[in-house]
Amino acid sequence: MSQIIIKDVAKRYANGFNALKGVSAEIPAGSFTVILGPSGAGKSTLLRTINGLETPTSGSVQIGQQTVTHTNLREVRSQVGMVFQHFNLVDRLSVMANVLTGRLSHRSWLGSLFYLFQRGDMDIAHEALIRVGLTDKAWNRADRLSGGQQQRVGIARALAQQPRVILADEPVASLDPVTSEEIMGLLREICTRDGITVVVNLHQVELAKRFADRVIGLNDGFVVYDGPASGLDRATLSRIYNRNGDQIDEQLETMLAYA
């Protein structure tokens, strides 16, 4: 059964730019999907429409049995964790408090007014921190951590939601190669062990080949490839990274040769 169904999604921004021009895809439950594509292809836009941070101009997104609309936004989001390129942690809160924000959809407004949580939430957050290996930093301020550690907190926040889906928008773009490897491994492990559906935007073809079950190639708002990671041969890659239908330039050739 498909966890995420994207149906003919088009997105036109307020300035008139068409970022997505009719994208359809079905992402099975418990799979690890990587979205590849050149800068400006619409990868972030697609990911953001999945949890309602952007509203599609036409078409629809369905998660589980629910179609994402304005009225069930909070409910949908509580089941979808999001991991960001720049981590987007609340700097002044402790690591623990940041992870606990993943529990907010289960807390009343009154409790939130006084920053109160339940013991059970603390246990879930603790669990999430164990998973990402950051228990010793629980009471540090979030902005005192290294980039890789901050991204782990971001993943722990998503885990604390106990989500069915985790979306990650270039989670390793601001990290060094070794740390990138660790973070991707962590996401892969979460997918395999917890059966959480993971969708990741990436710029590294090589990481996609190693970690993904499935790759969706986006170019200029269209899906140009949708298949297994093993299908990423040179012809496919040049189709994904192709610009304006021009000849593939030298640079791209070399880049793909190293991919």
Partner 1 sequence: MNSSRLCWPTPNGLPAVAPAVVVSVCLLLLVISASAVELDLVRLITAIPRMFEFASHLLVLPDWEYLPTLGTNMLQTMEMTFLATSIALVISLPLGVLAAVNASPHPVVFHVTRNLLTLMRALPELVWALVFVSAVGLGPLPGVMALSFVTVGFMGKFFAESIEVIDARQVEGVAAHGAGWLQLRTFAFFPQVFPDFVGTVMYILDHNLRAAAILGLVGAGGIGYDLVMAMRMFDYGRLLPIALSIYVAVTLLDRMSDKFRRRLI
Partner 2 sequence: MSAIETVRPPLPKKPFNPTPVWLTAWLALLWLIVVDLELSFETLLYGVDDIFEYFSRYGSPNFADLSRYVELLIQTLATALWGSALAFVVAVVLAPFAARNLTPNATVYRIARETLNFMRAMPDLLLALIFVAALGLGPLPGALALGIHTAGFLGKFFSESLERVDAGIYEAVSATGASRLQVVMYAGWPSILREALGYTLYIFDRNVRMASVLGLVGAGGIGLALHDTLRMFNYDQSAALIIVILITILVIDYLSTWIRGKLN
Ligand X SMILES: Nc1ncnc2c1ncn2[C@@H]1O[C@H](COP(=O)(O)OP(=O)(O)OP(=O)(O)O)[C@@H](O)[C@H]1O
Beta bridge partners of 83: 168
Radius of gyration of the chain (CA): 19
Return the residue of 5, 10, 29, 104 that touches partner 2, per CB under 8 A.
104
44 makes contact with Mg ion (CB under 5 A): yes
| Binder of partner 2 out of 5, 10, 53, 224 (CB under 8 A) | 53
Q: Tokens 């969708």 sit at which residue?
A: 199
Which of partner 1, partner 2, Mg ion, none interacts with 17 (beta carbon under 5 to 8 A by kind)?
A: none
Binding of partner 2 by 140 (CB under 8 A):
no
- State the Cα–Cα distance between residues 36 and 41, nearest whole angstrom: 9
When asked if residue 13 is in the footprint of partner 1 (CB under 8 A), the reply is no
Q: Residue 46: which H helix or E strand, with range?
A: helix 43-50
Question: What phi and psi values does residue 151 have, to the nearest 5 degrees?
Answer: -65, -35
The least CB distance from residue 131 to partner 1, in Å, is 18
Single residue of 62, 79, 94, 236 touching partner 1 by CB under 8 A: 94
Q: Does 142 bind partner 1 (CB under 8 A)?
A: no
Among 6, 19, 25, 96, binds partner 1 (CB under 8 A): 96
Shortest Cβ 250–ligand X spacing (Å): 22
- Using DSSP's 3-state secondary structure scheme, residue 201 falls into strand
- Which DSSP state fits 68? P
Ramachandran region, residue 233 (left: φ > 0; alpha: ψ -120 to 50; beta: rest): beta
Determine the Cα–Cα distance for residues 103 and 106; give it in Å rounded to an integer: 6
Of the candidates 245, 241, 152, which has an alpha carbon nearest to the alpha carbon of residue 205? 241
Answer for which of 3, 33, 44, 180 binds ligand X (CB under 6 A) is 44
Contact indicator for 219, 38 with CB cutoff of 8 Å: yes
Stretch that binds partner 2, among 20-28, 72-80, 218-226, 234-242 (CB under 8 A): 72-80
Q: Which residue is nearest to Mg ion (CB)?
A: 44
Q: Among 87, 202, 93, which residue's Cα sits nearest to residue 141? A: 93
Q: Which does 45 bind (CB under 5 to 8 A by kind): ligand X, partner 2, Mg ion, none?
A: ligand X
Q: Which does 19 bind (CB under 5 to 8 A by kind): ligand X, partner 2, Mg ion, none?
A: ligand X
Choose the stretch contacting partner 1; rule: CB under 8 A; options: 19-27, 63-71, 112-120, 170-178.
Answer: 112-120
Binding site for partner 1 (CB under 8 A): 94, 96-97, 100, 111, 115-120, 122-123, 138-139
Binding site for Mg ion (CB under 5 A): 44
